[in-house]
Structure 1
Amino acid sequence: MNRIEQPSPEKSPQSTAQFDGVICFGGVDWWYHNRGHYDLQMMREFSRRVPVLYVNSIGMKAPKVGEGAMFLTRVKRKLKSLFRGLVPVRENFSVFSPATLPGGGSGWFSALIAKWTLALQVKYAAWRSGIKRPLVWVACPPAQIVVDSLNPIKVVYQRTDRFEDFAGVNPRRIKEFDVLLKQRADTVLFCARELFEAEKTQNPGSLFVDHGVDFDHFEKAGVAYDTFKTEPEDLAGISHPRVGFIGGIDAHTFDPQLFIDVAVALPDVSFIMIGACSLPENWCPLENVYFLGQRPYEKVAEYMAASDILIMPWNQSDWIKACNPVKMKEYLAVGRPVVSTYFPEVEFFKDHIAVARTEADFVEEVRKYLKAPGDAESRRNRVKDHTWASKAEQVFRSVM
C-alpha cells in the first residue's frame, strides 16, 4: 500500500517572517517545455524582487515503454536536463534539475528515499542560490513530500489544473498530495474560475489570479507582420490562408478527430502546427496540415502573427473544463481571430473569440473569419492590462 507522510496542518511558525527567496517546484522543465507556463512566468517576475530557484518538474508519472518513440524522447530529454544540474539563467534566477523518482515514489520506502534525496539536493541548490528563508511554491503535487523538510517561511500551492485528471497519473495518489497541500499551504493559487469556485473553501488562503500575457512581445509580433509581412523562413512555402495552432498536441487536451474533420472540410486552408506531439505517428496524414515541431518561446509569436486565424480545438475532458490556457491571451495579444471549442474560461473572452460546439460550427466560424477577420486592435486591447507583471504583483502582495 502506498503511504504518504502526513504533515501537520498548521502553517509554518515563521509564517509572519519575510522570505528571502523562492524555491519553485515547477510543473514543467525549463530546458524543453514552452516557457509561457504560469509558474515560469510568475518566477520570472518574482526574480525581479528576490532570488528564485526553479526546480524542474519532478514528474507526476513515470514514462512507460509502451509509449514507443515518445518513451525514448522523454527519457533522453530528462537525462539531458539532469546532467545540467544547477544553472543560473539570468540575474536572480537559477534552474535546477534534481535526480528523483517520478511521482514521489510508488511505495512507502521509495517515497522515503525520494523525500530525503530530493530535500538534500534542493537545500544545497537553494544555499548556492543564496536562499535561506524560502517561500516554497509547489506547481507539481508530488513535491508535497519534501515541503516541510525545506523549513519554508510560507507555502504557495499552485492549483492551476485538476492534476489528478492528468492522463497516466495515479489519480488517488495525486489527489492525496492535493489534499495535503491544501492543508499545509498559506495560499492556494487558482487561475481558472471553474476550479476556484469548486474548491475555494478548502483553504482560507484561496486566491484567484488568472494567466497573464507578455503583451508587448506578442503585440509587437502582430504589428510587425501587419506592417512588413516578415515571417519565419519555414513558412515561406506554405500558402495562405493559414490556420495556426501553437501548443502541445496531446490526447488529454487536443481533439484529434475534430481537428482532422475540420482540416478535411477546409482543403484550401493550410494548417500550421507548432509544438510537440505525443499522439501516434501518422495520426494526421493530410497534405494541408504542416507539423513544424517545437519552437522557442521567443519565436512562437511570429508563427501566431503569420497565421490568418488561430485555433484551440480542445476535447471535452474534465482536465479541459478546469483549465485556462495561456495561449488564449497570447492569441488575442497578437491580434488574430480565434476559434475555440467550449470550455468555461472562454466565456469571459467570448466577445473576441468564436466558440464552436460542433465540427460544423468550427468550420463555419473559420470561414466567417477568413471573409471578415475583424479588428486586431480591439482584440489586443481586450488583454493589454493582463500582463504577467500585474498578475505577479497581485500574488506578491498576498504572500508578503
Structure 2
Amino acid sequence: MARSVVVFGEDWGGHPSSTQHLFRRLGEDRDVVWVNSLGLRRPTLTRRDIVRAVTKIQKAVVGGPQTKKVIAKPSRLTTIDPRAISWPGNRLAAAVTRLAVGAQVRTALAQRRLHKPVLWASLPSAVSVLDACGGGPVIYYCGDDFSALAGVDHTPVRLLESQLVARADVVIAASDELASRFPRGKTLTLPHGVDFELFSEAAPRASDLPVGRPIAGFYGSVAEWLDIDMIAQAARALPGWDFVIIGNIETDVGPLLGLPNVRLLGPRPHAELPRYVQHWTVSLLPFRDTAQIRACNPLKLREYLAAGTPVVSTDFPALTPYKHLVAVGDPASFGSVIRQAADDPSFHQARKLAVATESWSARAKIVADLMESL
C-alpha cells in the first residue's frame, strides 16, 4: 500500500501550482491530507487582505464559500482549512497555529486511520506545525526562492526555511539554483513537469483571440517580475501585431494602457490555455532579471513547448536545456526577435518532443519512489 501524506501547500484549487500538479497524480493511489496555506506574510489592513482573512476564517470555522476549483481533486485527497494565524516569525502566532492545526491534522488522520504519514511542506511556514502532526519523515519541496518572492515577509520566512531544511529528511528543489542553497547530501533537483496531453493535443481557437494579424501572447501572473516596459516597447515596434496578455494584474501596467495593439484579457482557467497558446504566433517569457527569476523554473515554459508554438524569452538559468528551441532577446532586441521567431516555422515538432517525457505523471513517479524509500 502506498504511503499516506500530509501536504502543507497553497490553497487547493486556487492556482495550479507544481505541488498540486504532483498530488493530483499522487492522490489517485494514496491517502492525502492537504492543509491549505498557512501564509507567508503578516496580513495588512488592505481591502484584499481583509477579504482574504475573513474568507479563510469562514472556511476554517463555519464552512464559508469555497474557492472555485481550477484543478481536479483526487478522490483520496482531503483538504483542511487551517485555523491558523498568518504571522511569520511571531512566537505566539506559531504556538496557536501549532496547537490548532496540529489538532486538525491529527483528527483527520485518526478519522482515516492513517499512521506515520510522510509530511510534505511546500511552504516554510509549515515548520512550526510538523512536530504536532504525529507524522513520519519530512520532505521540504522548494518550488520558489522565498527570499526574493514577491508578497512574502522575507526576513522571518528565510529563518523558517532554514529551520525547515534542518528538520527535513529530504529537500526537493525545482531548479539547480535552488538546490545549490541546501545540504548536498539530502537535496535533489526535480524540475517542473508539464500536462503534456493537455497542451500538445489540438484545441479549438479561443473566440476572444484577435484575428487577421500575428499575435504575441503571454499567460500567467502579471506581476513585478515581468518587464512591462519591454513589452510596451516591443508592442510599439510591432504595430502590425497584437499583444495578448492573460492573467491577474498584480503590478503597474500603465505603460501598456492606451497601446492599441495590446489586449489585457484577464485570467483564464488553466484547462482553457491551450486554446490560446496553440493559436497565437509567438509565446512570450518577458521576465526581468531578478533573484527570483534566476532561481525559477516556470511551469509555462514547458507548456509553451508542448504546444509547439515558437517561444521568445529573456535569458534565465532554467532556460538552458531548451535554448536551442527558444529565441532569446533583451529589452533592446525583443521586438525584432519576436518578428524573426515568427518567420521561422521550424522546430514545431522538436519543441513538443523536448518535453514529451517530462509529464507531471513522470515527475510524480519519481516522488512516489522517493517516499517509499524513506
Normalising by structure 2, we get a TM-score of: 0.90
Q: Report the more deviating stretch, 306-315 or 40-49.
A: 40-49
Structure 1: runs of 5+ lacking an equivalent: 1-17
Matched, 1:296 2:276: no
> In 2, distance between residues paired with 1:206 and 1:108?
29
> In 2, distance between residues paired with 1:126 and 1:154?
15
> In 1, distance between residues paired with 2:145 and 2:152?
11
> In 2, distance between residues paired with 1:341 and 1:398?
34
Matched, 1:231 2:213: no
- CA distance 1:64–1:109, shift in 2 (3 Å): closer
1:385 pairs, out of 337, 357, 362, with: 357
Give 1:255's aligned amino acid: D
Q: Report the more deviating stretch, 315-324 or 73-82.
A: 73-82
- CA distance 1:127–1:266, shift in 2 (3 Å): farther
Any residues of structure 2 matched to 1:169-180 within 5 Å, and which?
Answer: 169-180=152-163
Question: In the alignment, is the contact (CA less than 8 A) between 1:126 and 1:132 conserved in 2?
Answer: yes
- CA distance 1:343–1:399, shift in 2 (3 Å): same
- CA distance 1:89–1:191, shift in 2 (3 Å): closer
Question: In the alignment, is the contact (CA less than 8 A) between 1:310 and 1:336 conserved in 2?
Answer: yes
2:106 pairs, out of 123, 139, 143, with: 123
- CA distance 1:63–1:110, shift in 2 (3 Å): closer
Paired residues in the alignment total 365
| Cα distance, 1:360 vs structure 2 | 2.5
Matched, 1:211 2:192: yes
| Cα distance, 1:133 vs structure 2 | 2.4
Matched, 1:31 2:13: yes
Give 2:81's aligned amino acid: S
> In 1, distance between residues paired with 2:254 and 2:122?
33
Question: Which residue in 2 is equivalent to 1:256?
Answer: 228
> In 1, distance between residues paired with 2:340 and 2:25?
39
Matched, 1:92 2:72: no
1:195 pairs, out of 175, 178, 184, with: 178
- CA distance 1:268–1:211, shift in 2 (3 Å): same
Question: Which residue in 2 is equivalent to 1:134?
Answer: 117
2:42 pairs, out of 47, 62, 66, with: 62
Give 1:32's aligned amino acid: G
Question: In the alignment, is the contact (CA less than 8 A) between 2:246 and 2:267 conserved in 1?
Answer: yes
- CA distance 1:321–1:364, shift in 2 (3 Å): same
Structure 2: runs of 5+ lacking an equivalent: none
* Cα distance per residue 1:15-48 (max 9 Å; x no partner): xxx974111111x322322x1x210111112112
| Cα distance, 1:65 vs structure 2 | 3.9
Question: In the alignment, is the contact (CA less than 8 A) between 1:239 and 1:270 conserved in 2?
Answer: no
* Cα distance per residue 1:168-205 (max 9 Å; x no partner): 43322111111111111111001111222x224x2632
> Over aligned residue pairs, what C-alpha RMSD do you find?
2.5
* Cα distance per residue 1:276-318 (max 9 Å; x no partner): 1111364521221111211111111221112111011111111
Give 2:192's aligned amino acid: H
> In 2, distance between residues paired with 1:61 and 1:111?
13
Question: Which residue in 1 is equivalent to 2:96?
Answer: 113
Normalising by structure 1, we get a TM-score of: 0.84
1:332 pairs, out of 291, 305, 308, with: 305
Question: In the alignment, is the contact (CA less than 8 A) between 1:31 and 1:81 conserved in 2?
Answer: no
Question: Which residue in 1 is equivalent to 2:241?
Answer: 269
> In 2, distance between residues paired with 1:25 and 1:360?
42
Matched, 1:394 2:336: no
- CA distance 1:168–1:246, shift in 2 (3 Å): closer
Q: Report the more deviating stretch, 75-84 or 287-296.
A: 75-84
